[in-house]
Structure 1
Amino acid sequence: MSALDEVRAMMIFARVVEEGGFSAAARKMGLSRAAISHQIRQLEAKLGVPLLRRSTRTFSITDAGERYYDSCRTIMLEAEAARKRVEELRDEPVGKISITSSVHLGNLRIVPILNRFRRTYPSVAIDVHLSDDVVDLIGMGMDIGIRSGPLKSSDLKSFKLYQTHRIVCASPDYLDRAGHPEKIDDFALHDWVMYSRIPETLTMTCKGTEQKVRVNGHVRVDNATARLQFLRGGHGMAVVPQCDVQDDIERGDLVRILPDCILPDLLVYAVYPAGVTRSAKVQALLEFMRRELRDIDISRNG
């Protein structure tokens, strides 16, 4: 009998004594009565002394069994306590979460949410990686990535955080200089703040008709924060998420262009490797982010 087998047999012996019989212990442990009896016989052979006196219907514990039981019970209780400690890591938000996002979205929305999340769950440590590159989550050992859709097919799972309109805006200063576009075709005559993630050919639906127009500009950026700064500075028109500029529009700092023409909505997801959401900490963070982003989610607010 190996040391591991002996420890297992000790736990079985303690359970037999605790439950008052072989059958009750077998039901409790999900084993057969024959398996329980075999383990006890092996343990007695290993020790060289009988632990139990058996009869057809009952058993009693020997003096050696009485002394041995205390140690066996301690091992059984320690094993159960260790299992519960591990289950707490699964059932309670505790431990470290690594999360990556674009610089703009991270600073604008994700980091403030993580700030509030840690106030609610102080036992969760946060490792934040902000980058405009698409990070290999599995290769870098990251738990969650924040990405905008449509998502490419991959082995990653996804959880939609929010949906927002994409709109065309410009500053009043730019429009005073360049004039207000009156139709989609006019977009080709204007200067644009170009963003690497937005195609140069825009597809918009105006009064039920899909139209395409190619746009260009003297400013080109690969960062959404830079795009917004150049847009506010009057360097041209730009396609932006409505939730990012709604306050600017309400203050009059930016003007929405051709509001009756519609671009495809922007959907923002949390993506993660399969199995990550078995962790309570990750489940708690995903639900927390989605609740915090409810106000800007048009799919929940019409």
Structure 2
Amino acid sequence: MDDFKRMAVFAAVVEQGSMTAAGRALGLSASAVSQQIRQLEAAGGVTLLTRSTRQLSLTDAGQRFYEQCAAMTQAAAWARAELAAARDEPGGELRVATVVGFARHIAPALGGWLAAHPQLRLHMAVDDAPIDLIQSRIDLAIRFGRLPDSNWAAKRLGATPWWLCAAPTWLAGRAADALSPAQLLAGDWLDLVHAGDTVRTIHASRGAQAQAWQPQMRITSNNQLSIQQMCEAGLGVALLTGLDAAEAVATGRLARLLPDWGFGTLDIWAVTPQRATQPAKVRQAIAALQAYLGQLPGVVDAAQP
């Protein structure tokens, strides 16, 4: 490492024309610069500079050596420029991981930003199972709910409330606003389950009143999107996020049940494997996601970019 430093000092001496000028450019004293050059010559066993009272001149060996040192310092400058560009301007490939249900939001959230940066490429890894960010080289993952302890960096983008929903066909002959919790508990329920899940407890509240329900699940799946599809088909009652169900409720494919009851919220996170300074492509993608979520129905407490 000391040799690289001395080579950079030598190149600066040649380019600045004197050790004093090189010292000013590097923030070193002229004597410190002279010492670096003497150590470089001693290590190489050759004279690089011929010194006189008025000027320095390169020996033949010094000329050849300078060309390589100049190439090294130029490469270092280009490397620093690449880092600055990554910091200030998005480029390269952005690798995003998300669950199946959120994948449909990536295009409207990032489409305009991607169009503005044609040098940027996007790769999406879509899977309901957690993806190892390091092994899969993921730059940014969208995660939901409570996050496990890890060394990753997480930024909360907002939250989406849980809505109790059913399709008009399931509600046929029933008045949605007249249904009681007891009547709903006796109905057909659909739920998201994962390996190891047992009985699902649903926590609900209305004002100061709080209840814990344990409905009997008739249909279960490990995929939230399939639960919503079966709910829209009229197969039963399901807890769906406002983020997922808002459009279906607005268009009449689903109806909200017990709207005066609260069923909690689900946090939305942007997770990255780096805690240090993020490259521009990651910072700007997170900002675009924040802006998008902030104007979506079914999202509350959205963070501002």
Q: What interval of TM-score do these two structures reach, taking the shorter chain for normalisation?
A: 0.7 to 0.9
1:238 offset after TM fit, Å? 0.7
1:110 offset after TM fit, Å? 2.2
Q: What amino acid maps onto 2:167 in structure 1? A: S
Say which SS state the counterpart of residue 262 (structure 1) adopts. coil
Q: What amino acid maps onto 2:252 in structure 1? A: G
Say which SS state the counterpart of residue 134 (structure 2) adopts. helix
Q: 1:39 aligns with which of 32, 36, 39?
A: 36
Q: Whole-Å Cα distance in 1 between the matches of residues 47 and 24 of structure 2?
A: 28
Alignment partner, residue 171 of structure 2: 175
Give the TM-score taking structure 2 as reference length.
0.82
Alignment partner, residue 53 of structure 1: 52
Contact 1:217-1:236 at 8 Å conserved across structures: no
Sort the Cα spacing of 1:217 and 1:74 in 2 relative to 1 into closer, same or farther, 3 A. closer
Q: What amino acid maps onto 1:210 in structure 2? A: A
Say which SS state the counterpart of residue 139 (structure 1) adopts. coil
Say which SS state the counterpart of residue 129 (structure 1) adopts. strand
Say which SS state the counterpart of residue 55 (structure 2) adopts. strand
1:211 offset after TM fit, Å? 0.8
Say which SS state the counterpart of residue 135 (structure 2) adopts. helix
1:80 offset after TM fit, Å? 2.3
Alignment partner, residue 295 of structure 1: 295
Say which SS state the counterpart of residue 271 (structure 1) adopts. strand
Q: Deviations over 1:29-48 (max 9, x none)?
A: 24454431112223455433
Contact 2:193-2:222 at 8 Å conserved across structures: yes
Q: Whole-Å Cα distance in 2 between the matches of residues 75 and 167 of structure 1?
A: 61
The reply to whether residue 91 of structure 1 matches residue 85 of structure 2 is no
Q: Whole-Å Cα distance in 2 between the matches of residues 63 and 133 of structure 1?
A: 64
Sort the Cα spacing of 1:18 and 1:97 in 2 relative to 1 into closer, same or farther, 3 A. same
Alignment partner, residue 193 of structure 1: 190
Q: 2:10 aligns with which of 13, 16, 27?
A: 13
Say which SS state the counterpart of residue 137 (structure 1) adopts. coil
1:18 offset after TM fit, Å? 4.4
Q: Structure 2: which 5+ runs fail to align? A: none
Q: Whole-Å Cα distance in 1 between the matches of residues 47 and 141 of structure 2?
A: 59
Q: Which of 152-161 and 136-145 deviates more?
A: 136-145
* Matched positions, count: 293
Contact 1:166-1:264 at 8 Å conserved across structures: yes
Say which SS state the counterpart of residue 218 (structure 2) adopts. strand
Q: What amino acid maps onto 1:295 in structure 2? A: Q
Sort the Cα spacing of 1:63 and 1:234 in 2 relative to 1 into closer, same or farther, 3 A. closer
Contact 2:164-2:258 at 8 Å conserved across structures: yes
1:179 offset after TM fit, Å? 5.8
1:78 offset after TM fit, Å? 4.8
Q: Deviations over 1:196-239 (max 9, x none)?
A: 16972110111222111111232211112211111111111111
CA RMSD of aligned residues (A): 3.1
What is the identity percentage for the equivalent residue pairs of Structure 1 and Structure 2?
Answer: 27
Q: Answer 1 or 2: which has greater helix percent.
A: 1
Q: What amino acid maps onto 1:291 in structure 2? A: A
Say which SS state the counterpart of residue 253 (structure 2) adopts. coil
Give the TM-score taking structure 1 as reference length.
0.83
Q: What amino acid maps onto 2:255 in structure 1? A: V
Q: Whole-Å Cα distance in 1 between the matches of residues 75 and 169 of structure 2?
A: 72
Alignment partner, residue 100 of structure 2: 103
The reply to whether residue 68 of structure 1 matches residue 70 of structure 2 is no
Q: Whole-Å Cα distance in 1 between the matches of residues 10 and 277 of structure 2?
A: 37
Q: Structure 1: which 5+ runs fail to align? A: none
Say which SS state the counterpart of residue 149 (structure 2) adopts. coil
Q: Deviations over 1:99-153 (max 9, x none)?
A: 21111111x2124434443212222222211111112222333222211012122
1:76 offset after TM fit, Å? 3.9
Q: Deviations over 1:157-195 (max 9, x none)?
A: 111223222110111221125664633333321111121
Say which SS state the counterpart of residue 47 (structure 1) adopts. coil
Q: What amino acid maps onto 1:95 in structure 2? A: G
